[in-house]
Amino acid sequence: SPIVTAYLARTPSSADAYRRARAVFPAGVTHDSRYQLPHPLSVTHAAGARKWDSDGNEYVDYVGGHGALILGHAPPEVMARVAEQAMRGTHYGANHDLELRWGELVQAMVPCAELVRFTNSGTEATLMAMRLARAATGRSRILRLRGHFHGWHDHVAFGVTHHFDGSASAGVLPALAEQAVLVDPNDEAGLIAALDAHEGEIAAAFLEPTGSTYGQVPLRPDFVQRMREETAKRGILLIFDEVVTGFRVSRGGAQQALGITPDLATLAKILAGGLPGGAVVGRRDVLELLDPERAAQRGVEKIGHQGTFNANPLSAAAGVATLEILRDTDVLDRTHAYAAAFIAAANDMFCELGLPWVAYGAYGAFHIFINPNGLPVDPRSFDAASLGYADLKLPRGNRVAGKLRLATRLFGVDLSPWPGGLASGTHGEAELAQTLDALRGAIRLLRE
Ligand code: PLP
């Protein structure tokens, strides 16, 4: 295809790097979502809303560090504090002031965070949250929403992507998958039926509170509210996976924006300001299962938790700097406004071009629904919450999405793969104009 030919001509050095990468890494990547044909970009540096590949091409970036970079790439105030901290030591194997300030900020900003335990990643946080919930309730099952992503550990490696049916993916013990209870998002009747069928067996209900993949299939707030009421009634812990939504949807995450307080929440990404880090936060009585004295007082077993790099000083420095900026400036509002402006302009363009696509999203994220059925859709009446996964995953839609991503790169814009993107506080008018031009140019190439 001419798009692939043009991409190959523009990115020879990325192609070379990928040939070497294939000899070192399975599939030539270190994260599944970075896999891309004919080859992913090899990035050399990044600043603000932009990044550069090894051929010197410049891109407006919407990958946003997989959601970690709400302040854009290498924000000077954050990087200065990380550099300063690096000279003072990267690991003390001890308590330190920065972890304390970091934890206090989380406690002050996130409504459910009575106590905080830092981990190294979102995956570690969801694993710990599930263990805490099982210990706190003495029950074993976890209720999850189909398609909602919670990292890659064994308790969540199904019910997403290829294992929508909830069967265990290869390498995962089938017994773990059998313990899960999968419910379709926004399906209240299905939710109640599952809760009734497993009364007294479910430790926690786990969800991405704005819907899977940053709201690609949005959850209706009243469905989340129903989950809150039903779980409270039935002694089930409600756990918001705020790895993406935390500090993005609002300063206090989706829970603050929705006005629904979960029992526990998991955090990562923005939490650690572009460095590795995660946390489980929530109800004092549950987190206290990690405290030997409190556990002994209650006559229960303490939960174990280690992790060499938990709350390491570099991540703590970046986290403190980032959360302070989010708390004290209007960066979130600007990020949200940017994505909203893009969505409105993109929909105008799709209408003008007679294309049956819809841009949608909230809270600084945008998604492009490449209507694989080719049906006309009216963006004004489009209800993304009614999208079924089947609508999003049809092969033709996926093929067009892949081509769209390559084609926009030819115009200096790098979207996320689903397709869509995450804005940051550094995306401004120049980026918006360039992105819309790139989209128009890419559509022209796709139609040729
Ligand atoms: N939960 C959600 C909602 C995520 O989006 C992710 C990562 O994309 C994770 C958990 C896993 O976090 P991590 O990649 O830090 O392990």
Question: Are 83 and 66 within one domain?
Answer: no
Alpha helix ranges (H) inside 156-306? 174-179, 188-197, 212-215, 221-233, 253-258, 284-287, 292-298
The ipTM of this complex is 0.99
Domain boundary among 328, 347, 377: 328
Strand order in the sheet with 141-145: 115-119, 278-282, 264-267, 237-241, 202-207, 141-145, 180-183
**CATH number, domain at 413?**
3.90.1150.10
User: Residue type for 366, please?
Assistant: F
Task: Tell how far the Cα of 284 is from the centroid of ligand 1, in angstroms.
Answer: 24
* pTM, 2 dp: 0.96
**CATH number, domain at 147?**
3.40.640.10
Name the packing angle between helices 395-409 and 2-10 (round to 10°): 40
User: Which atom of ligand 1 lies closest to the CA of 126?
Assistant: 10
Task: Tell how far the Cα of 270 is from the centroid of ligand 1, in angstroms.
Answer: 11
Q: Are strands 58-61 and 413-414 parallel, antiparallel or unpaired?
A: parallel
Number of domains in the chain: 2
Question: CB of 151 closer than 6 A to ligand 1?
Answer: yes
CA distances from 275 to 286, 309, 364, 421 (A): 27, 11, 20, 20
User: Which atom of ligand 1 lies closest to the CA of 121?
Assistant: 15
pLDDT tens column, 151-164: 999 999 988 876 88
Question: Are 18 and 44 within one domain?
Answer: yes
Question: Are 393 and 350 within one domain?
Answer: yes
CA distances from 131 to 66, 318, 340 (A): 26, 28, 38
Chain-centre distance for alpha carbon 157: 16
Per DSSP, what are the bridge partners of residue 180?
Answer: 142
Question: Are 178 and 44 within one domain?
Answer: no
Token pair belonging to 129 = 């949250």
Question: CB of 126 closer than 6 A to ligand 1?
Answer: yes
Question: Are 257 and 147 within one domain?
Answer: yes
Question: Are 267 and 357 within one domain?
Answer: no
pLDDT tens column, 266-321: 999 999 999 999 999 999 999 999 999 999 999 999 999 999 999 999 999 999 99
- Give the closest residue (by CA) to ligand 1 atom 13: 122
pLDDT tens column, 370-399: 876 666 677 777 888 777 666 665 555 678
Question: Are 225 and 354 within one domain?
Answer: no
Q: Which residues contact 386 (CB under 8 A, 6 or more apart)?
A: none
Pocket residue to mutate for ligand 1, from 243, 244, 280, most atoms within 8 A of Cβ: 243
Question: Are 56 and 147 within one domain?
Answer: no
Question: Are 58 and 104 within one domain?
Answer: no
Task: Tell how far the Cα of 177 is from the centroid of ligand 1, in angstroms.
Answer: 19
Residue-number span of the structural domain to which 288 is assigned: 76-328
Question: Are 287 and 177 within one domain?
Answer: yes
E strands present in 4-160: 43-47, 50-53, 58-61, 115-119, 141-145
Cis peptide upstream of residue 38 (ω within 30 degrees of 0): yes
The Cα–Cα gap between 63 and 358 comes to 20
Question: Are 318 and 352 within one domain?
Answer: no
Specify the DSSP element, H or E, that contains 428: none
Question: Are 317 and 352 within one domain?
Answer: no
Task: Tell how far the Cα of 149 is from the centroid of ligand 1, in angstroms.
Answer: 7
274 phi-psi bin (left φ>0, alpha ψ -120 to 50, beta other): left
Domain boundary among 328, 355, 372: 328
Domain boundary among 328, 360, 393: 328
pLDDT tens column, 337-380: 999 999 999 999 999 998 888 999 999 999 998 876 666 677 77
